[in-house]
Amino acid sequence: MSNIVDPLVERIAVRVRTERERRGWTLNGLAEASGVSRAMIHRIERGESSPTAVVLGKLSAAFRLSVSSLLALAEGEPQGPDGAGAVRRHDEASEWRDPDTGYRRRQITGPRFPVETAEIRLPAGARVSYPAASFAFARQVVWVLDGRLTFHEGATVHDLGAGDTVELGEPAPCTFANDGDAECRYVVIRAQADRP
């Protein structure tokens, strides 16, 4: 077994623990709020386990943060005063990988930018689901760049190809599915909303 620890996994560990402690929650409290087992949260906070996309979605929903926000906060600020004017080189960008599906997520904007933007690469055959609470207090657009995406928004199913976009409606459980035989690359753009 390797002793090499992924720096992003370490930063996610610190961010999850910080968000939990800031709310005055115990491990049991976060487990109850998120539906993620206490043991799994403990392993994540110790940097012993990289959370899956589904687990990140549940933790983010409990914190009333988006997955993008949680990851952007874990990645930290780009160089420069308040992040403005900082260049993010593609080959230097942090990329988070879901250990279950191979789903890859790269933050495009930093935590202080008013609109969250992330690039996602969803492998062929992969499916990632998030609870409705992940989409509360947000307006969100999904923009497919390459491949095909089957997007389940509650009971509604959207079949999206390259160049297609969908604006999410009221918060609902969502599943991003790649039923094709090639990778799907898409962008998620998220802005805060005044109401769920």
pLDDT (tens digit, 9 = 90+) per residue, 110-159?
Answer: 777 888 899 999 999 999 998 888 777 778 999 999 999 999 999 999 99
Question: 143 vs 14, which has greater pLDDT?
Answer: 143
pTM of the model: 0.72
* Residue 178 domain flag: yes
- Average pLDDT on 60-72 reads 78
Domain boundary residue, one of 23, 43, 75: 75
Phi-psi bin for 110: left (phi > 0), alpha (psi -120 to 50), beta?
beta
Is residue 102 domain-shared with residue 185, that is, in the same domain? Answer: yes
Could you give the number of structural domains in the chain? 2
d(CA 119, CA 134): 17
Q: In the prediction, which pLDDT does 142 show? A: 96
Paired tokens of 179: 């039923």
Q: In the prediction, which pLDDT does 1 show? A: 39
Is residue 163 domain-shared with residue 112, that is, in the same domain? Answer: yes
